[in-house]
Amino acid sequence: MKALRIGDLSIAVPVVQGGMGVGISLSGLASAVANEGGVGVISSAGLGLLYREFSENFLEASILGLKEEIRKAREKTLGVIGVNVMVAMTNYVDMIKTSISEKIDIIIAGAGLPLDLPSFLKKDSITKLIPIVSSARAAKIICEKWKANYDYLPDAVIVEGPKAGGHLGFKEEQLGDNNYSLENLVPEIVNELKPFEEKYNQTIPLIAAGGIYTGEDIHNIMNLGASGVQMATRFVTTDECDASQAFKQAYIDASEKDIEIIKSPVGMPGRAIFSSFIQKVRDGRKQPKKCPFKCIKTCDITKSPYCIIIALINALKGNFENGFAFAGSNAFRATKISSVKEVFQSLIKEYKESKVL
């Protein structure tokens, strides 16, 4: 596999581990991926709940928790570490500023267009900025706005296709439409980025995500113009993943029909593994009385059937009576728990084999 270059960073294996909240990808998984030559990514979502012992205040605990996770990751690896921040989070600015001040290698920002992201960089900042998009139009808007307002272009762009897990940047009817497939999106976005690369003499690698599960998938999507891939689902069923054993087991036990599109309180469709909690929501049996954290800008407590952050924290612990696991479309393919090293060995072997064919 050809190394992925993001600015002055060289990623030996062109695999970025997707950020998974709440608490699924923290320092444990991120450092293990970085040690294998990929980019390990800490999810900043919900850290205020995971680090309640640091502060009763959710926003303050989130900042302290992120600092702690970055510190722990740095203790375990000299590799490349990133932080995933959702634009839709109410503490988006806190998480961005903290990541930059802690000199994180990369910030990956999605769940909304991060149009102001370069404004947080300081003169001595080393952090690379990578927006997540789901269309060529979004990639173009970000490049134009960043260049015009901050004289900055993305250090890379991630395109997340409709087979991804978690929140999806598509309408429900687009999810099965081939026009929106990752295979179609990659060449479109490569073409959209090309004029910016040529005009400003800067490389903007495109990283493809959503449904990438094997080394063959990596080979095929890179043949279409991607410089690397982002993978999340494949890393859930690893020893080093920060989720509980019960969460990982939910992936192993899932069949293809168990992976469903759900309506999320944040106003986007999401892909998750069916659970008794999801059934309760469909039956109209869940309704939050109050919003304890105000964690997502687009979440309206008066219309929300449940509190998503509490549902995801419950799932992290393996409580599927009161939560659910987000998952990519290929989650049902997991059959056992492996080490991150074994996953990388498998991906590299599969990639080489598909290259020969």
Residue 158 vs residue 179, higher pLDDT:
158
CATH of 4-242+336-356, one of 2.30.40.10, 3.30.70.120, 3.40.50.150, 3.20.20.70: 3.20.20.70
**Tens digits of per-residue pLDDT, 163-219?**
999 888 888 888 888 889 999 999 999 999 999 999 999 999 999 999 999 999 999
Residue 293 vs residue 222, higher pLDDT:
222
Residue ranges per structural domain of the chain: 4-242+336-356, 245-331
CA distances to 19, 38, 41, 187, 328 from 334, rounded to whole Å, are 19, 21, 21, 29, 11
pLDDT score, position 233: 97
- Tell me the pairing of strands 166-167 and 206-209: unpaired
pLDDT score, position 49: 86
Bridge-partner residues for 309, per DSSP? none
How would residue 13 be classed by pLDDT, with cut points 50, 70 and 90? very high
| Over residues 149-157, mean pLDDT | 98
Q: Which residue has the tokens 């919900």?
A: 46
CA quadruple 159, 164, 169, 171: dihedral sign: positive
pLDDT exceeds 80 at position 356: no
Structural contact between residues 127 and 107, judged by C-beta atoms closer than 8 angstroms: yes
Cβ partners under 8 Å of residue 157, min gap 6:
130, 131, 132, 133, 139, 142, 189, 193, 204, 205, 206, 207
Residue 305 vs residue 220, higher pLDDT:
220
* pTM for the structure as a whole: 0.94
**Tens digits of per-residue pLDDT, 287-346?**
665 666 565 656 566 666 666 777 787 888 888 888 889 999 999 999 999 999 999 999
- Name which of 131, 134, 105, 137 is nearest 39 in CA terms: 105
Integer Cα distance of 72 and 66 in angstroms: 10
pLDDT exceeds 70 at position 224: yes
Angle among Cα 309, 48, 245 to the nearest 5 degrees reads: 60
The amino acid sitting at 71 is R
Structural contact between residues 209 and 197, judged by C-beta atoms closer than 8 angstroms: no
CA distances to 123, 130, 200, 260, 348 from 152, rounded to whole Å, are 13, 12, 10, 39, 34
The amino acid sitting at 28 is G
Angle among Cα 240, 236, 20 to the nearest 5 degrees reads: 100
pLDDT score, position 302: 65
**Tens digits of per-residue pLDDT, 51-60?**
999 999 989 9
